[in-house]
Amino acid sequence: MMNTTLVLIKPHACREKFLDVAREHFDQYGVRTDDTMLLSGSQVERGAYVERHYSSVHALAVCSLEDLSAFVSEETASLFFSAFGELWDAAVEKRRVMTPEDAMTILGLSSEELNARWCASKSCARLEYGFYVSYLEEERVYVVNGFYPSLLGSFTATDSQTCLFVLSWPESMYTWKQFNLEVLGAANPSEAAPTSLRRLLFENWREYGLSEQPSLMHNGLDASSGPLEALAHRSVWMHRRATEDDFGRALLQEGVSLEFLEQLLKNPTITYGGETRPVFELLEDLQSSEVIHHLAVLYAAEKLKRTNQASVGFGTSNTISGVAEWTIVLDDEDAEERRNRALVFVKPHANTPETRALVEERLMQTRGMQIVSQRHVFGGEIAAQQLMYKHYRTIARYAVKVSPMSINVSTQNRALFKELFGIAWKEAVCSGRVWNAETAIHTLGEISAVELYGMWGSCTKTMKLASGAYVAQFLNEKVFVINGFYPYLRDTYGAQNAKVTCYLVSWPEACMTWRAFREELIGSTNPGNAPPNSLRGLIRDRWQELGLQYPPTTTDNGVHASAGPFEALLERHLWMHLPLSHDPLTLRLQECALTGALLYRWASHPEVMLRGKKLSGCVFDLLENMQTSEMVDIMREAEQQTMALYKETPMNRAVLILKPFAVNERTIAAVKKTLESVGLLVTREMSVFSARIVKCYLNSAAFCAATRLAEINSSTPQEVVSPAIKDRFCEIFHSTWDYCVVDGSLMGATTACENLGLTPKELLQLWEASSPKKVGRACYIAFLKAQGIFVINGFVPFTRECYGRPGSRVYLFELEWKESAWTWRDFCEVLIGDSSSPQNAAQGSLHRTFADEWSKFGL
C-alpha cells in the first residue's frame, strides 16, 4: 500500500532554488512526486484555498466573540485553565478573550504587528485541533489564532507564490511519522533532523533566496498529519473528489459510503476507541492501510446504529457529531426508488406557447413522470457556446472539420458503398468527389445551409458510413456529401430569434422502460410513423393549431429526447448546466467506486465491447434504450474487467503524435503498420485540428511561459525573468543576462525572426544546429555564432505557425503493449528513435525511416 500526502511550500520559502532542492531531496529519499502545482497569490485568494485548508483555524479566527464559546467544550475549557490558570467563562465575561479582528481593531495593530506580538508571547497554548490561544501580557488579553490574518495575507499577496507537491511512498519505506520527521523535519526547523528538508532550509536560507531565517511559525512547509487529512488537502488544492483519488477509492472499495467519507473530510469530532477528538487528530501518523481499517470499522458501527435507530442522520453518542452538508442533488433523488432521467426539449421550429403547454400536459399524464427542472436556451447562447456542435459531437465533426479520408469506414460498409453507388469508397475519396458539408457549401458556390439541406433532402441514395457519418449522392454535381443536414441544424438553432425549451424529466424505472419512453411517449423520429398519442404524433396532427409554420419533418419533428441514460447525462450537463460531478447518475457510479476514467472515455463515443464481447459497437448506440440500472451494471462490469486485465497483464500505454507536416494517408498507414507489426495495439486514433491545438497546447500554461520568454527584447522589463534563470545563463554562457538583453545580443525567438529577417523555419534550423541549452523552466537558449546572438526558445515561432495554421492537424495514436514486450527505453530509442537527430536514430526506427525515405512518404 502506498502513503500519499500533500506538502505545501509556503510563500516565504517558495523560491526556485529551494524548489529544486526539494525535488532532489524527495528523489534522494525514494519519495515519488506524483503531481506539482504553482499558484499565484490571486489564484489562492480566488479559490479560497487557505480558508479551506486551515478550515478549523479560519472558523475560529473569523467568528464573533459570541459565537466563539460555541466551539469551547468542557475539555477545552479545562485545558485553558491548565495553561493559563484562569477560567474560560470568567475571561470571556470580562471581555479579555479576543478574535484576531477584535484584537486588531481594539489594540490598533496591523495583521503583521498582531502576528509578531502573538508569536512572541511566552504564554501560548494549543487547546484542540485548530484552536490556539496566546496571552498578550501588556494588555492582559487572550487572542485566539492571532497568527491567521498574517498567514492569510502571506498566501494571497499579489507577488506571492505557493507550490504544492503530491508525494507518495510505500508503507514499508517509512511510517507516516518517520516521513514527517525524517524527510520533512520537525515543525521547529532549528530542532529538525540534520538531513531533513526543514533543517536544510534553516541552515541555507540565504543561499535559497529567503528574506529571513525560518522559525517555528515560518518553517517553510505545511504537511498533512495523516492519510485522511492528506485526502482532504488534495480535495481542496487539487480539486480531487474522493472518487477521483486512489486512497479515496480504496476506502469506497472497502465499503465506506461516499456520504460518510465526505463528512469525515470536514474533520468532525468523533468518538472512537474511547477517545473523542477531531478525526484528523485521531488518525494522525497512522499508515494508509491502518486508516482504511479503522474507518471501515467506524462506518460499520455507524451503519449498525443507524439501522437500529431507523435514523437518517448521524448520531452524536459514539461517532460523528453534527449533520453533514449534502452534495447538490436533484429533488427527485431517492435511493429506494431507482429512476431514469432524460432531457426533453422543444425544437425552435415548434417552440410556441401552445406546443410547450401540450408537451408539459402530456408528460405529466404519464404515470410516475416528474418535470424536475425547466430552462429556456436562446439562439445567441446556442451559437456563442457552440451547443449544437457539442450536442451532435461526431456528426458535427464529420460535417465541418474532419476530412472524408479520415473517416474509419469498415470493410462491410465499404462493400455496401460500392454496391449502392457503383464506385469504391477509396476511389471516390482519392478522386476528390467526397466532401464534408462545410466544403460542399463553399465549393457549390457559397450556397446557404438551407439550400444544402434542400439538396440533401432530395437525394434518393443515402447510407450510414460509420457512427455519426452519413453520406448522400448529389447526382447533378456528381459528388458525395457527408452530413449535409448539419449546417441547417446549426444555423437554425443559433439564429437570434431561436429558442429551445428544455425539460429535465424523471420517472421510476418500474413505471416505464426507456424504450417505451422513446417509442410511446416521444414517438418515432419520422413523425409520420409516430403513435397518435405520442408527443411527435400530437404535434404532427395539430401543427396548425399549435402555431407551427409547416408540418413536422424527420429533422423538424417537434421535440428531442435523450436516447439513453448515458446520452442523457451528457445532455443535462450541456443544456441544463448541471455539473457532471453533481449529477445523480455520476454520484450513483461513484458509490460503486467507479473512477471518472470510464465516463470520460465513453463521452468521446468510442467503439467498445461489452458484456464479455457479446455487445460491440459505438458506446452511445449500445446504451440506447437501456434502463439506468442496467447501464450502471454494465459500466461497473466494464471497469472491473478493465482493472482485472490491468492486474493480470501489466501494460504500458503511450500516445504517439504525428506532427502537422508529416500527416498524410501514407505516413498514417506506415506508422500503424509498423506499430502493429511489433506487437503494439493501437487502441484509438484520431485527428486533432488547429482550433483544438491552439486551445489545449498553444494556450497552455507551459507553452505560454515559453512564448513569453520568446518575445523578450531590449525593452522588456528586467524583473520579468527570475534571478535563477539569469544566474544559470551566466553560469553556462559566462555572460550577464541583463547586459546582453540591453545591448541586443540576447533576445527571444520572435524578436530574432524580425531582426534577422528569417522565417520561423529558418530560425529553427539555425537554432537547433547550435545545440540549445536548458537554462530554466520553459527556457532554452542557443548561441548563433554566425549572427553573434543568443536566442531564447527558437522553437516557439515555428511551433506556433505550424500547429496554429488554420486547417493544420496532428494525428494521434493511443497505444498499449505488454510490459514484457517492450521496455520504455527500447520503445523510445529503438522503435521511435532519437527525435533530436532523426538521421542518426536507430536503423528501422520511425524517425530514421522518415528521415531516409521522406520523399516516398510525400513529405
**DSSP string over 467-530:** TTEEEEEETTTTEEEESTTHHHHHHHHHSTT-EEEEEEEEEETTT--HHHIIIIII--SSGGGS
CA distance 518 to 68: 57
Mean pLDDT, residues 593-621: 71
Mean pLDDT, residues 394-415: 90
- Grid coordinates representing 435 are 466532401
The reported pLDDT for the residue numbered 793 is 94
Mean pLDDT, residues 483-490: 95
The reported pLDDT for the residue numbered 204 is 93
Are 701 and 637 members of one domain?
Answer: no
CA distance 180 to 141: 34
Percent of the chain with pLDDT over 70: 93
Contact 253, 42 (CB under 8 A): no
Are 729 and 818 members of one domain?
Answer: yes
Q: Is 42 helix (H, G, I), strand (E, B) or coil?
A: helix
Quickly count: other Cβ atoms within 10 Å of residue 385's Cβ.
14
Burial class of residue 98 (count of CB atoms within 10 Å of its CB; 0-12, 13-18, 19+): buried
Q: Per the domain annotation, does 40 fall within a domain?
A: no
Q: Per the domain annotation, does 605 fall within a domain?
A: yes
- Grid coordinates representing 525 are 423520429
Are 663 and 636 members of one domain?
Answer: no
The reported pLDDT for the residue numbered 612 is 63
Q: Which of 280, 309, 338 is at the close of a domain?
A: 309
Q: Per the domain annotation, does 320 fall within a domain?
A: no
The tens digit of pLDDT for each residue in 546-560 reads: 999 999 998 999 999
DSSP state of 835: S
CA distance 97 to 94: 8
Contact 306, 537 (CB under 8 A): no
Mean pLDDT, residues 90-107: 84
The reported pLDDT for the residue numbered 595 is 64
Contact 246, 252 (CB under 8 A): no
Q: Per the domain annotation, does 352 fall within a domain?
A: no
Mean pLDDT, residues 509-518: 94
The reported pLDDT for the residue numbered 778 is 81
- Grid coordinates representing 165 are 507537491
Are 745 and 801 members of one domain?
Answer: yes
The reported pLDDT for the residue numbered 701 is 59
Q: Per the domain annotation, does 261 fall within a domain?
A: yes
Q: Which of 445, 460, 491 is at the close of a domain?
A: 491
Q: Which of 225-229, 811-815, 833-837 has the lowest mean pLDDT?
A: 833-837
Q: Per the domain annotation, does 529 fall within a domain?
A: no
Give CA 487 to chain center in angstroms. Answer: 31
CA distance 384 to 806: 20
Closest CA to 425 of 366, 473, 393, 369: 473
Are 687 and 726 members of one domain?
Answer: yes
The reported pLDDT for the residue numbered 330 is 42
Give CA 848 to chain center in angstroms. Answer: 36
Closest CA to 372 of 343, 393, 400, 412: 343
Q: Per the domain annotation, does 637 fall within a domain?
A: yes
- Grid coordinates representing 476 are 447533378
The reported pLDDT for the residue numbered 693 is 81
**Backbone φ/ψ region at 253: left (φ over 0), alpha (ψ -120 to 50), beta:** alpha
CA atoms within a 13 Å half-sphere pointing along the CA-CB vector of 189:
21
Are 675 and 813 members of one domain?
Answer: yes
CA atoms within a 13 Å half-sphere pointing along the CA-CB vector of 184:
25
DSSP assignment string, 797-811: HHHHHHHHSTT-EEE
Are 685 and 813 members of one domain?
Answer: yes
CA distance 488 to 441: 11
As for how many domains the chain has, the answer is 5
Asked whether residue 334 carries a pLDDT value surpassing 60, the answer given is no
Q: Per the domain annotation, does 108 fall within a domain?
A: yes
Are 814 and 735 members of one domain?
Answer: yes
Contact 185, 195 (CB under 8 A): no
Closest CA to 330 of 562, 595, 574, 578: 578
Q: Which domain holds residue 783?
A: 649-822
Are 670 and 814 members of one domain?
Answer: yes
H helix and E strand count, the chain: 43, 27
The tens digit of pLDDT for each residue in 120-139 reads: 888 888 888 788 999 988 77
The tens digit of pLDDT for each residue in 38-93 reads: 999 988 887 778 888 888 888 888 877 766 776 787 888 888 998 999 898 888 88
Contact 462, 470 (CB under 8 A): yes
The tens digit of pLDDT for each residue in 434-470 reads: 999 999 999 999 999 999 999 999 999 999 998 889 9
Are 742 and 815 members of one domain?
Answer: yes
- Within 8 A by CB and 6+ apart from 253, the residues are 593
Q: Which of 114-128, 363-377, 470-484, 632-646 has the lowest mean pLDDT?
A: 632-646
The tens digit of pLDDT for each residue in 271-330 reads: 887 787 888 989 999 999 999 999 998 888 887 776 654 433 333 333 333 322 222 334
Are 273 and 397 members of one domain?
Answer: no
The reported pLDDT for the residue numbered 395 is 92
Are 659 and 782 members of one domain?
Answer: yes
Contact 724, 776 (CB under 8 A): yes
| 537 vs 593, higher pLDDT | 537
Which amino acid appears at position 24 of this protein?
Answer: E
Q: Could you tell me the pLDDT band of residue 148, with boundaries at 50, 70 and 90?
A: very high
The reported pLDDT for the residue numbered 324 is 25
Contact 162, 9 (CB under 8 A): yes
The reported pLDDT for the residue numbered 576 is 86
Q: Which of 602, 629, 647 is at the close of a domain?
A: 647
Mean pLDDT, residues 758-766: 92
